[in-house]
Structure 1
Amino acid sequence: MNITAHVPPAVLVVEDEPLIRMEAVDMIEDAGFKVYDASNADAAIILMELHDDIGILFTDIDMPGSMDGMKLAAYVRDRWPPVAIIIASGKVDLKDMHVPEGSKFFPKPYPTEHIAQILGDIAKQLQLA
């Protein structure tokens, strides 16, 4: 009998501040997820194209490069609709922003235990889909 456990989706962390990115990667790995990380949207898109196990995008909004985190989230929503999106920011007021449908937003600093719980919930939903 061959029984395989469901492997949770990988998470792509996109954050331009190295220390914050490392903390986020550690937090998500500690929650049991495989993690890829990128410092900007351009690198994130390359990783999305290379790794089909990415099921969750965890992105900051305020980033340098060709697009910020909101534009990246919209691009990922259009190109990879099944990918769950979590957006975090310490500077942005969401009232003036268009968040892609189904996305979750967390202000920084985000509560580690809450992020881990949300990731687990998203992983369960993705495995049921």
Structure 2
Amino acid sequence: MTNQRIAVLVVEDEALIRMGIVDELELAGFEVMEAANAAEAIDQLAANPLISVMFTDVDMPGGVDGLKLAAAVRDRWPPIKIIVTSGHRTVNVDALPTETRFLP
């Protein structure tokens, strides 16, 4: 019997912050994929059906921020657990898709 690690997608536009999060999650035993924006995140999710958790920042460049990305992922991949985070602002729980958590 093999232990399959939980696959996590980290979505963060700041490269150094993303690298730190990825390192910590890998040290904790997770299999980690990375994306710098929402478009890359959607590509990663489409290519990697084993991803079961997405950890995304709220503020990202481009037309889709982390909240819009969370809503799109919830609609397209309902089983994926979603954690939204921000170091700059607080998000009202009502602004999050169902079963999404906010981590300040």
For the superposition of Structure 1 and Structure 2, which TM-score range results when normalised by the shorter chain? Answer: over 0.9
Residue 73 of structure 1 corresponds to 70
Contact 1:15 1:63 in 2 (8 A): yes
Distance in 2 (CA, whole Å) between partners of 1:73 and 1:65 is: 15
Unaligned runs of 5+ in 2: none
Would you tell me which structure has more helix in proportion to its own residues?
1
Distance in 1 (CA, whole Å) between partners of 2:99 and 2:15 is: 27
Structure 1 vs Structure 2 CA RMSD: 1.3
Q: Alignment identity in percent?
A: 50
Deviation at 1:92, TM superposition (A): 2.1
TM-score (structure 1 length as normaliser)? 0.76
| Count of equivalent residues | 104
Deviation at 1:63, TM superposition (A): 0.1
Unaligned runs of 5+ in 1: 108-129
Moved over 2 A (4+): none
TM-score (structure 2 length as normaliser)? 0.93
Distance in 1 (CA, whole Å) between partners of 2:20 and 2:97 is: 25
Distance in 1 (CA, whole Å) between partners of 2:17 and 2:86 is: 11
Distance in 1 (CA, whole Å) between partners of 2:26 and 2:61 is: 25
Deviation at 1:104, TM superposition (A): 1.3
Deviation at 1:5, TM superposition (A): 3.4
Relative to 1, partners in 2 of residues 1:30 and 1:78: Cα closer, same or farther, differing over 3 Å? same
Give deviations 1:21-66, integer Å, cap 9, x for gaps: 0000001101101100010000000000000110000000000013
Q: Which has the larger radius of gyration?
A: 1
